Structure 1
Amino acid sequence: MEIIKGAGVWTHPGEAGNDWVEQLRTADLSVGTYCIPAGGLDTQSPHTEDEIYVVTAGRARIETPGRTAEVGPGAVIFVPAGEEHRFTEVTEDLVLLVMFGPAYGSRSPSRGRENA
Structure 2
Amino acid sequence: MCQQQAAGLETIRQEYIAHGRTEISFMIVNSKEAPEQIGQLSSRTNFPVYQDTNAINIWNKLNGGKDDVLIYDRCGKLVYFIPFPSSLLRYHLTDWAIRTAYDTDACGCQRKYT
Same fold (TM over 0.5): no
TM-score (norm 2): 0.28
Q: Greater helix share, 1 or 2? A: 2
More strand by share: 1
Higher relative contact order (CA 8 A, sep 6+): 1
